[in-house]
Amino acid sequence: MSSVADASVAPRASAWGRFRRWLANPWGRPRFLPLLTWGYVAWSIVPVLIAVQFSFNATRSRTNWEGFSTRWYWGDPVDSVWHDPTLRNALVQSLKLAVADVVIATPIGVLLAIGLARWHGRGSGTSNFLMLFPLVTPEIVMGVSLLLVFTEVFTFIGTGTTAQILGHVTFSISYVVVIVRGRLFSIGRQFEEAAADLGASPTAALTRVLLPLLMPAIVASAAVVFAISIDDFVISQWLSSGGETDTVPVKIYSATRAAPLPSTNAIASIMMVLTLASITLGFLVWRAFTRGERRAGQSVVKDMGALEI
């Protein structure tokens, strides 16, 4: 009995042999890929988590953990985000710019995308290509240029909130165009043709068919615009007219250079949460709107990847 069992077992390779086979098999389970991926995730997230942790520190230290507290958010009567007027002001200014940016850049970008995707005339190719320029132009160059425009040419604008909003809108439109245009290409012309075929005027085709179909892309691009506007440092800084119009990133920058307190970490954490929330919201809305369109097994991430961002 035992001899039969023994005969059926293949001679076992040595441990070293098995290890070499495991290492050399390119079709086996990935071995270093998960390691690299998790290594990268840790490398990029851990510093952020530590910064967030110290925003809850009980003392003024940003390096020694001395207990949990929320004093830097609202507890401290002088230096908390809630009580320090400069920090609160920066937060309000950032939100103001981001909301204005979303409200102005999204509709313009959507209309531009429709125009660019549906116009096939002389110069349409060039225009489509030029739309990508703001995405690749170094922000510092755009900041300087805009500053010159607002202080030398359109002097009635000058620096300040208006200039900052215009600056943000300028570079945000490209993101909207790219996202919405991707969606336009993926839905094709057939739905507009079907609408026209069923007697819809061009206006009705736009409002009844095209815009509802573009809704996920519109929401997603609004979320992206909100996130990049909140996040922006260079343009906000160049076009700022001083303390009153400093945004959160500008404030963090200057505070860190002077005498940093955990309240800086606190406001940075708030900003991060806002960015994450807007992106998550965009993602969820996209998923809800396109639920019926995905083929089985196709993930939302892949679907959004098809946006050609």
Partner 1 sequence: MARGEIRLIGLTKRFAEVTAVDHIDLDIAPGEFFSLLGPSGCGKTTTLRMIAGFEQPSEGRIILDGTDVAYTPPHKRNVNTVFQNYALFPHLDVFDNVAFGLRRAKRPKNEVKERALQALALVQLGGLESRKPSQLSGGQQQRVALARALVLNPSVLLLDEPLGALDAKLRKTLQIELKTLQREVGITFIYVTHDQEEALTMSDRLAVMNGGQVEQIGAPQDVYEDPETLFVADFLGVSNLMDATAQGAHDGRCRVRADTFELAAGSGAIDVTGPAKIVIRPERIELESREAASGPNRLPGMVERLVYVGAAVQVIVRVATGDALQVLVPNTGKSLPYQQGTPVQVHLPVEALRVLVADEAGEAGPAKDAALAEASGRD
Which 95-134 positions form the footprint of partner 1 (CB under 8 A)?
none
Does 191 contact partner 1 by CB under 8 A?
Answer: yes
C-beta of 155 vs 190, nearer to partner 1 = 190
Residue 232: how many other CB atoms lie within 10 Å: 25
- Phi/psi at 68 (5° precision): -85, 135
Residue 25: how many other CB atoms lie within 10 Å: 10
Which 213-252 positions form the footprint of partner 1 (CB under 8 A)?
213, 215
Does 293 contact partner 1 by CB under 8 A?
Answer: yes
Smallest gap from Cβ 193 to partner 1, in A, equals 5
- What are the contacts of 249-252 at 24+ separation with CB within 8 A? 249/94, 250/90, 251/86, 251/87, 251/90
Contact between 225 and 175 (Cβ < 8 Å): yes
Smallest gap from Cβ 195 to partner 1, in A, equals 7
C-beta of 46 vs 288, nearer to partner 1 = 288
Smallest gap from Cβ 192 to partner 1, in A, equals 9
Smallest gap from Cβ 212 to partner 1, in A, equals 5
DSSP reduced 3-state for 232: coil
Which 156-185 positions form the footprint of partner 1 (CB under 8 A)?
none
Residues 6+ apart with CB under 8 A from 239: 143, 146, 147, 150, 159, 160, 163, 164, 167, 245
Residues 6+ apart with CB under 8 A from 105: 168, 169, 172, 173, 176, 225
Which 194-213 positions form the footprint of partner 1 (CB under 8 A)?
194-202, 204-205, 208-209, 212-213
C-beta of 66 vs 293, nearer to partner 1 = 293
**In terms of Cα–Cα distance, which of 97, 100, 78, 99 is closest to 249?**
97
C-beta of 192 vs 232, nearer to partner 1 = 192
C-beta of 18 vs 294, nearer to partner 1 = 294
Does 272 contact partner 1 by CB under 8 A?
Answer: no
Please tell me the count of residues contacting partner 1 according to CB under 8 A: 23
Interface ranges with partner 1 (CB under 8 A): 190-191, 193-202, 204-205, 208-209, 212-213, 215, 289, 291-293
